Structure formats: structure tokens, C-alpha cells
A and B are shown apart, each in its own frame.
Chain A
Amino acid sequence: MPLNRKDLLGIEDLTAEEIELILDTAETFRDVNARQIKKVPTLRGKTVINLFFEASTRTRTSFEIAAKRLSADAINISASTSSVVKGETLVDTAMNLQAMAPDAIVIRHSSSGAPHQISRILKASVINAGDGAHEHPTQALLDALTIRQNKGRISGLRVAIVGDILHSRVARSNVHLLVKLGAHVVLAGPRTLLPLGLDRLIEQSPGTITFADNIDDAIADADVVMMLRIQLERMAGGFFPSLREYSIHYGLNRRRLQLAKPDCIVLHPGPVNRGVEIDSDVADGPFSLILDQVSNGVAVRMAVLYLLAGGSESSK
């Protein structure tokens, strides 16, 4: 079964089968990344534009490496150097890029929905590399790949996602993905940062979504604990009073981790605020797979680029 779509805008649109296909393909690319010559000629002659309206060294580098290992030409455009500051609209920018005939545009934007808006007018494949507080599909895919490698499965696992769920695109993409693949997702964080109602619109099958009353309940018996990065500006927004209090009430430490299953793994989309959402000894501890996530990121992005960016027009 091929991935018959032009764009990857979010996990919400994907079927469980499509997610599995991307993950299986990513496994192959993990092998490629372990070779001495890590480059394959698959996307030779294809052009991938990394259009980043928001700074992100990690994700941008990961997409750039993925494109280059597939022999595509990768061009990075960041908002500070593009025309956006001159008052050009998003649509103008997209049309200008279209005129250069890229095969794929990887977009990171601080506004939810920006990739959807440009995908409607672009012939190129649009890959969402994070839009506002909406989705970050490749992050969820790399998280799933990491979980699958360590647990052998996703179905039936209890996954706690803890922190600023309200503003987190990582959390939304993960919720969609994990539920589609049959995991039981438990969300927890300060009440001010929980998007209550999220569970009502997502089909809870085969997995489930619940909001826990507190972080201890969420972590109890978890197979996977995913800690979200807390943005320091949320404090100014009045969502919580101080980092100290956040760390005490909502941070992951060794004591809390003991509530989880003994073989629990810890994930974090990075970069980590050590001592705030996660203690250093947990972040660097044996349960932590934070660096595996980074290397899986390249494989997942290669898989997505391969499955979307090639192909003839008729496949789209």
C-alpha cells in the first residue's frame, strides 16, 4: 500500500496503515543511516525547500540531513532572510517559491494552519514541520518509532503526556498517532494548560484518551512518559506562578518515575529545560531515550520525503 497523498499536514489525517507504512519505511532508512556511506541516490534531482518561519536548529537540521542523504537538493530559507518581514503575505511567499518548482516544501510556522493554507495553492508536497500549537507530525512519528523499537509495539501501552498540552503541537500529533495505533494516552499538566475537550472530538478507538487529575495519576503504571518542554513565556502569560512551583508540582523526578512501570521509558521532544520539567538525573538516566529520538528523527524524515517527494504527478 503506497502513501497516496500530496502533503503531510498532520497525523490527524492519516490512517493507522499509513502511519505503519511510514514507520516501516523509516526502519529501512535507519539501516541506511548506519552505513558507512549514508547517502542513497533516491531523490537525485529533487529540490526540497526548508521554509522556517520560526527558529529551530534541531528540526531544520534533521530535515536537511534527511533530504541530503536521499540526494535531494536542500535549500534552507528562514523567515529573517525572506521577504516576510517586508510585508509579503504567506500566500505571496508560497507562490514565489512555487515558481522555483520545488518538489517538497518543509514548513515550520508559528501560526496554526499555515501549512494547510499554502498546501491548497502549491503543487509541491507540503510537509508540516510544526505549525503553531496544532501539529508536528514528524515528531510524533519519530516518537512512535522510538517507542516501537523499545517496546516492540504501541498497541495497549499506557503513555503519559505531561506539561503544557494546550500550546503543544507535539502533544496533539502524539495523541492522534497513539490513539490510532491503540495506545492509552493519559494527559496531565496545570489546569491552565490543558485543552479540555480535546478528547471529545478524537475517535477513541482503538486507543483511548483521558485527562488525569494530577501528574502522579498520569505517570502511575505508565509504559512511556513523555515530558513536554515548558515555554518560559507561559509564566508571563499567567499560566503558572513560577518555575520553582512548576518543577515541584509538574516536573518529572526520580521519585515520580518510580510510580511508572519498572521498564518505563522517558521521552522529551527537546530541548530540555533541565530542572524544570525534567530533572537532570532522569533526563540522563537509563530510562531516557531522548538521544534515540534525535537519530530516529532523521530516519522518519527520510521516510516521509521518500514517500511524498518523489513519484509522478499521477500519484498525487
Chain B
Amino acid sequence: MEFVEKAVIMTSADMNRVLTRMATQIVENNPDLSNVLLVGIRRRGVPLAERLAAKIDEVDEVKVATGALDITLYRDDLSTVADRPVVNKTELPANITGKTIVLVDDVLYTGRTIRAALDELIDFGRPHRVQLCVLIDRGWRELPIQADYVGKFVTTTENQIIKVMLPEFDETEEVLLVETK
């Protein structure tokens, strides 16, 4: 598939600002930060969760625990995708029961990834609350799922793709809107 770049939605500076804001919101909503666990959804949610944790540390000098969730084994489209996706590790603390978990992902789209993430979390224990934090909400939900913290709402058409570029995986740091040719 070939893509045409339509627009830069966030620059690196924008992203930094948005993450700072969301970190603040997370702190405001969760007075007991020691009970909070920031869980990034692989792949791009993981560095975003780590950056949020760093921001919280900067602002409040509190070290919030982080984790990583690989939802591959919980996907509902495994029997339709052509190739078996590579499974990566899920890294969570031993016990998540009673914790407030903030799930972190780059883009909220159909909501199916979040559904899978919730199912996986429940298999690990019974969290007190689960909140959702996403950098971009592009609409087109297929399940009744909404985010608690959103970096930016973007109106999209179905043939468009949001590309979140992070230095951990990509050459640049920005968010792009691209369209399939």
C-alpha cells in the first residue's frame, strides 16, 4: 500500500506539551499516585506511558510504576489476519488487584485494541479502576469505549491513517495524517 502524507497533526513540541497536560490531568484525577500503574499497550503505548511517568515525576516528584501489555493473544481478528502477528511480552507487576490502571495507547480508533487490553488485564487480577489515555482520538468507534485523557481529537475519513512517530521506533517524532492512494 502506498501512502500520501496529508498533514502534520503534531510536531515534537506539540507532543511534549500534550503529554505534560495529560500527566497533570492524571495527577489531578488520582490523588493516591502510589496506587496508580501506567500500562502502555505495545508497541507505541509503552514509550508514551514511560514519558507520562517521567512527566509526573518532574511535576510531582512521584515515581509511578509502569507496565507493558501485549494484546496479540487477545485480538478478535486473529482468524482473519493473513499472517500470525509476532507475540511480545506482557510485563505487569505481580499483582494488579486494587490498583488504578491507566492504559496508554497512541491512537484510539475502533476500540477493539482497548477491549482486548481490558480482557487481558482482568486475567491478571481485579483492578480498582481502569482509565484510558490516548495521544490521538480519531473517531470511528466500533465498541462503546471512550478515553479519559485525550491528547487531540482528529476528524478522519476511513481511508486515512494516523501515524504516530516516536524516536524509539521511527526516525522522527511527530504525528502525521496519511491517506492510502
List A residues at the B interface (Cβ < 8 Å).
1-4, 21, 24-25, 27-29, 31-32, 35-37, 39-43, 45-46, 70, 306-307, 310-312, 314-315
Contact = CB atoms under 8 A, between A and B. Distances in A.
A42 B89 contact: no
B84 A28 contact: no
Contacts of B86: 1-2, 21, 24-25
Give the interface residue-count category, chain B.
Answer: 20 to 34
Contacts of A45: 79
Given A35-B123, A41-B74, A42-B78, A307 B90 contact: no
Contacts of A31: 89-90
Contacts of B74: 40-42
A4 B78 CA distance: 15
A152 B106 CA distance: 34
A28 B124 contact: no
A253 to B, nearest CB: 40
B80 interface: yes
Contacts of A43: 78
B82 interface: yes
Given A28-B70, A45-B79, A310-B78, A37 B84 contact: no
A67 to B, nearest CB: 14
Given A35-B124, A310-B78, A41 B73 contact: yes
Contacts of B89: 27-28, 31
Given A31-B90, A315-B84, A37 B79 contact: no
B58 interface: no
B82 A311 contact: yes
Contacts of A40: 73-74, 120, 123
Secondary structure class of chain B's binding surface, majority of residues: loop
Contacts of B84: 2-3, 306-307, 310-311, 315
B11 interface: no
A40 B75 CA distance: 10
Nearest to A40: B73
Contact of B81 (A24, A28, A41, A312): A312
Contacts of A25: 86-87
A21 B85 CA distance: 11
Contacts of A307: 84
A26 to B, nearest CB: 9
B119 interface: yes
A183 B72 CA distance: 32
Interface of B: 70, 72-75, 78-90, 119-120, 123-125
A194 to B, nearest CB: 39
Contact of A4 (B73, B83, B85): B83
B73 A314 contact: no
Contacts of A310: 78-79, 84
A311 B83 contact: yes
Nearest to A308: B84
Give the one of A39, A43, A312 with max B CB within 10 A. Answer: A312
A46 B70 CA distance: 21
Given A28-B90, A35-B124, A45-B79, 5 more contacts: A2-B83, A21-B86, A41-B73, A306-B73, A307-B84
Contacts of A24: 86
B88 A37 contact: no
25 contacts: A1-B86, A2-B84, A24-B86, A25-B87, A27-B89, A28-B70, A28-B87, A28-B88, A28-B89, A28-B90, A31-B89, A31-B90, A35-B124, A40-B73, A41-B73, A42-B72, A42-B74, A45-B79, A306-B73, A306-B84, A310-B78, A310-B79, A311-B83, A311-B84, A312-B82
Contacts of A35: 123-124
Nearest to A26: B87
Contacts of B81: 311-312
A315 B83 contact: yes
Contacts of A70: 73
Closest 5 CB pairs of A and B: A2-B83, A40-B73, A42-B73, A37-B123, A28-B87
Nearest to B119: A41
B9 to A, nearest CB: 31
Contacts of B79: 45-46, 310-312
Contacts of B85: 2
A37 B96 CA distance: 13
Contacts of B70: 28
B82 A37 contact: no
